[in-house]
Amino acid sequence: MTINVAMTVNGKAASGKVEARTLLVQFLREHLGLTGTHVGCDTSQCGACVVHLDGKSIKSCTILAVQAEGGKVTTIEGLAESAEKLHPMQEAFRENHALQCGFCTPGMVMSAIDMVKRHNYQLDEATVRRELEGNLCRCTGYHNIVKAILAAAPAMKSAGV
């Protein structure tokens, strides 16, 4: 049985026919070709699949596509204003060498943006480390990810994003 779903993804209307069991991440990757959102595990532990749904970070492997019906989804592809002007969090990741293989990066960036906003742009190292509990990285040892997020918080505030 297929079901029609419709939502807004990165500011554009998106719709498709999915199976009831289709996960949001499958809809994004396989139906819309938005392969920036990754799948790194099958137990909702690694956070490679984090996207924003109606402004909040969620694990897109743990929600059905039909549950996002009518919602506003932002993925890593929808963050930057342009190729030249990245989101301050993306810029901070680049400046601080907060990524190596790049696989966890989209989920890290999406989680980090939500984290900064939830803490009203005020973060310290211990908070950042605690808040990253839902995202695994095997390359960076987290050192530079933490640095990047701490640097991005004031940059996001002054950019008004």
| Residues near other proteins (CB under 8 A) | 19, 21, 29, 33-43, 45-46, 48, 75-77, 79-80, 83, 86, 90, 93-95, 97, 99-106, 109, 125-126, 128-130, 132-133, 135-147
**CA nearest neighbour of 114 among 54, 28, 55:** 55
Shortest separation between residue 88's beta carbon and other proteins, angstroms = 12
**Rounded Cα distance, 48 and 11, in Å:** 22
CA atoms within 13 A on the CB side of 154: 4
**Rounded Cα distance, 114 and 159, in Å:** 15
Is the separation of the CB atoms in 81 and 66 below 8 Å? no
